[in-house]
């Protein structure tokens, strides 16, 4: 541990400067206008992996953005850790809500504010620097492979193809990912599951053109009203989802699992205060941790239609649209849920409108084992570096590739995230605490050390 602390201390400023350079690159995968910046980011990551001591560093082309690969094989008889992360980020919009520009990282109160600060640049870069540390101090105890992709925030569809085509190259004993959250720095935790996702878009069409709302209003159904009614009917009075069959494949948690989950520290007052809401909302009969970690949900991500510009325009619009996502839990599958939604949504369409459902991406839920050598290594690493045993939690977010690693490579994942839910991922003013960044760089080498030791 001493050599780790010392290395971080001696390189403190540079470790931060390099992350800042990475955060300055606007690698937004969703919007083609950022393409040159996304490609530059891949180059930057490859160069930094090389500098840190990785061999066979490659920028692997795909039909979309490239995957950066690098490895250090010290001894074929030693275990191999495959580190996964993503260098792409979410769009920064709405820009006007940022206190400082999203691609000019700024420190306030010990926290780095920038798009991608936590998700996932700040987090995957800790692995690059922890690797550098192990190389520089001659303490790399196992083989390591890096696979850093550029399309996580848009569904990782090309990574899926890459993984299927490169099974030999990606051969490893475990996948290690830092792209999730902890409860808090005082209550370090390890996520042991991720939800799946089914994302789609709906369009409701009424009359064949926008109409004068005075001339026609009252005689023709307004598609915005109809869409709102259809959407409102998707939850019942207990906030259960009303799609027939939606819960059929949900595996209920055992009483012991529920108890363990609910024994994690939870500050409801602080949670509400942070979000400035008077009351929480959710499926009746479940706690907040259960609602976000173990129950499926249906959320509206966006809704539009009619006139939304300055001032007023009296119009009865022809169309109304919404983007809808459903978070899934074992053993739901995104294809089956997408179909259930589509059938149901079409079936509740009244005769005044036409309804179209367009699926976007999906991903399967995953649970990670808590009795594996790798999980124990992560527990020991965190216990040593935080002075406290980590609490197992279930994450609400999705990293679809985790289920694919298991299906295609037979690999289990350890989710050793150092973010916080309050880091404003995907929101304006995303942040990452400098303390967490260094803490991650200090904890990761301990994971490798214990993983190598316990694998013997």
Q: Which residues bind ligand BES (CB under 6 A)?
A: 119-120, 152-153, 155, 179-181, 194, 197, 361, 363, 395, 397-400, 425
**Pair 264, 396: CB distance under 8 Å:** no
Query: Which residue is catalytic, options 18, 132, 151, 152?
Result: 152
> What is the phi/psi pair of residue 305, to 5°?
160, 155
Could you check whether the bond before residue 94 is cis, i.e. omega within 30 degrees of 0?
A: yes
Give 356 or 361: the residue with its C-beta nearer to Mn ion.
Answer: 361
User: How crowded is residue 14: how many other Cβ atoms within 10 Å of its Cβ?
Assistant: 10
Give me the sheet containing 319-328, strands edge to edge. 297-305, 319-328, 196-205, 354-363
Report the first-to-last Cα separation within the chain, whole angstroms. Answer: 21
Closest distance to Mn ion from the beta carbon of 87 (Å): 10
Spatial distance between the Cα atoms of 337 and 357, rounded to a whole number of angstroms: 13
Q: Is 88 a catalytic residue?
A: yes
Give 120 or 173: the residue with its C-beta nearer to Mn ion.
Answer: 120
Spatial distance between the Cα atoms of 437 and 20, rounded to a whole number of angstroms: 12
Q: Which residues bind Mn ion (CB under 5 A)?
A: 119-120, 179
Closest distance to Mn ion from the beta carbon of 86 (Å): 6
Q: In the bound complex, which residue of the shown chain has the CB atom lying closest to ligand BES? A: 397
Which of ligand BES, Mn ion, none does 398 bind, CB closer than 5 to 8 A by kind?
Answer: ligand BES
Q: Is 152 a catalytic residue?
A: yes
Query: Which residue is catalytic, options 18, 71, 88, 120?
Result: 88
Which of ligand BES, Mn ion, none does 206 bind, CB closer than 5 to 8 A by kind?
Answer: none
Give 158 or 222: the residue with its C-beta nearer to ligand BES.
Answer: 158
Q: Is 169 exposed, middle or buried (0-12, 13-18, 19+ CB in 10 A)?
A: middle
Which of Mn ion, ligand BES, none does 362 bind, CB closer than 5 to 8 A by kind?
Answer: none
Closest distance to ligand BES from the beta carbon of 453 (Å): 28
Which residues does 255 contact at the CB level (< 8 Å), separation at least 6?
Answer: none
Chain mean position to CA 330: 17
Which of Mn ion, ligand BES, none does 364 bind, CB closer than 5 to 8 A by kind?
Answer: none
Helix H, strand E, coil C: the string for 347-358 is HCCCCCCEEEEE
Q: Which is nearest to 430 in space by CA: 200, 135, 116?
A: 116
Closest distance to ligand BES from the beta carbon of 245 (Å): 23
Give 81 or 399: the residue with its C-beta nearer to ligand BES.
Answer: 399
Give 151 or 179: the residue with its C-beta nearer to Mn ion.
Answer: 179
Closest distance to ligand BES from the beta carbon of 401 (Å): 9
Q: Which residues participate in catalysis according to the annotation?
A: 88, 152
């Amino acid at each position: 541990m001493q050599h780790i602390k010392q290395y971080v201390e001696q390189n403190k400023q540079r470790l931060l400067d390099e992350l800042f350079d990475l955060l300055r690159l606007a690698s937004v995968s969703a919007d083609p206008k950022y393409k040159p910046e996304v490609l530059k980011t891949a180059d930057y990551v490859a160069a930094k992996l090389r500098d840190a001591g990785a061999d066979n560093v490659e920028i692997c082309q795909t039909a979309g953005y490239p995957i950066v690969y690098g490895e250090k094989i010290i001894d074929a008889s030693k275990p191999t850790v495959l580190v996964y992360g993503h260098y792409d980020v979410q769009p920064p919009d709405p820009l006007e809500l940022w206190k400082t520009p999203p691609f000019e990282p700024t420190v306030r109160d010990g926290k780095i504010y920038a798009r991608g600060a936590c998700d996932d640049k700040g987090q995957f870069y800790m692995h690059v620097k922890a690797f550098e540390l192990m190389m520089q101090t001659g303490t790399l105890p196992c083989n390591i492979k890096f696979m850093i992709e550029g399309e996580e925030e848009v569904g990782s569809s090309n990574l899926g193809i890459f993984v299927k085509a490169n099974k030999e190259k990606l051969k490893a004993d475990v996948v290690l990912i830092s792209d999730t959250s902890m409860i808090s720095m005082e209550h370090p935790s390890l996520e042991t599951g991720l939800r799946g996702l089914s994302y789609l878009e709906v369009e409701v069409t009424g009359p064949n053109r926008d109409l004068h709302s005075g001339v026609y209003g009252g005689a023709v159904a307004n598609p915005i009203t109809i869409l709102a009614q259809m959407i409102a009917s998707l939850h019942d009075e207990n906030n259960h989802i009303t799609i027939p069959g939606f819960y059929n494949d949900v595996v209920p948690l055992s009483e012991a699992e529920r108890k363990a989950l609910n024994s994690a520290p939870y500050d409801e007052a602080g949670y509400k205060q942070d979000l400035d809401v008077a009351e929480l909302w959710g499926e009746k009969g479940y706690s907040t941790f259960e609602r976000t970690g173990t129950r499926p949900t249906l959320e509206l991500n966006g809704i539009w239609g009619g006139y939304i510009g300055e001032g007023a325009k009296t119009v009865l619009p022809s169309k109304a649209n919404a983007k809808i996502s459903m978070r899934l839990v074992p053993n739901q599958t995104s294809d089956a849920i997408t179909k259930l939604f589509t059938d149901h949504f079409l079936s509740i369409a009244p005769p005044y409108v036409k309804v179209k459902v367009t699926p976007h991406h999906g991903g399967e839920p995953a649970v990670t084992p808590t009795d594996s050598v790798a999980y124990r290594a992560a527990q020991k690493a965190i216990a040593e570096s935080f002075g406290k045993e980590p609490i197992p939690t279930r994450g609400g977010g999705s990293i679809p590739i985790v289920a694919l690693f298991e299906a295609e490579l037979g690999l289990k994942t350890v989710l050793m995230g150092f973010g916080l839910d309050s880091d404003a991922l995907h929101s304006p003013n995303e942040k990452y605490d400098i303390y967490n960044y260094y803490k991650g760089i200090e904890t990761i080498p301990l994971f490798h050390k214990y993983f190598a030791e316990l694998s013997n």
